[in-house]
Amino acid sequence: MKLSLSVRIAEAACKTKLNVPFRELVHLARELGYRAICMRASAGGVGTPVGDLESMRRDVEDAGLVVSMVTADSDVPLNNDDGPNCLRQIGASLDVAEALGCNLIRVCLKKPSDTDDARRAAEQAAERGIRLAHQCHTTTLFEQIDRSLHWLEQIGCDNFGLIYEPANLMLCNESYDVKGLEQLKPWIMNVYVQNHRLADDGPVTLETWCVGVRRFHHIPIWEKGGVDFDSVIHGLNVIGYEGYFTVHQAYAEIMGPREAAVESSRYLTSFGCFD
């Protein structure tokens, strides 16, 4: 597997801007041995001039890195009602991915009717050698494993897959260990990791369609009491996953981006399974 660092570790709470310059994050990733940057619209997306995107790509490539995935529209990570609009306007996201030299785009589906748009978007993306993927995420069609498999089969495109993300699966009481991974294996195109500790008095809430509102604490990836990363790593090794493994934690309310990137790398590389 290859470690990737998401710009989300330096993202403001609004998810539309960064708290530090993008180039600073690139240099940090290079310094710490990450292999890639995971891009979001908070750093560069559909509203960014193409010249600026191409400059970002040069910064990434000059550092010996690549862009592992693009989330080109801020409505996608906000997971709001406008999130699926990216599918109906997929050309703009495809242009961003091409400018950044990336062949994977994160998208958003909220309603069964969005699958028709997803199919059309995937067909357009295939013409340009680009894949689309949906995160395992609450209040989307990809909240639970069985439903995710159903909708993936309904879309039926080889270049449309899944971003495995154990914390959201945990919030939905879904199996995120080897059992769940073996079910999802044919569809996994990327891995996101973040960490939550469930608590009845937790300060953070997320709605789920399957089990209602969940309360939790954001905690660092290496802190116990949340996602069982021993099970995550074991499961990924069992299914032979060799792609990008992205640190996706929202660290702004916990610590600064340097400490987050340093400690995440130190913890994850201790498993001994990253190139």
pTM of the entire predicted model: 0.97
Task: Return the structure tokens found at 255.
Answer: 């610590």
Q: Which of 16-30, 158-172, 177-191 has the lowest mean pLDDT?
A: 16-30
For 31-87, the pLDDT digits (tens) are 999 999 999 999 999 999 999 999 999 999 999 999 999 999 999 999 999 999 999
pLDDT at 166: 98
Tens digit of each residue's pLDDT (9 = 90 or more) over 237-266: 999 999 999 999 887 778 888 999 999 999
What domains appear along the chain, each with residue ranges and CATH number?
2-269 (3.20.20.150)
- Say yes or no to pLDDT of 22 above 90: yes
DSSP string for residues in 200-268: TT-SEEEEETTTEEEEEEE--TT-TTS--HHHHHHHHHHHT--SEEEE----TTTS-HHHHHHHHHHHH
- pLDDT, tens only, 127-164: 999 999 999 999 999 999 999 999 999 999 999 999 99
pLDDT of residue 13: 79
Buried b / exposed e along 100-139 (16+ C-beta atoms within 10 A): bbbbbbbbbbeeeebbebbbebbebbeeeebbbbbbbbbe
For residue 169 the two structure tokens come to 């699966």
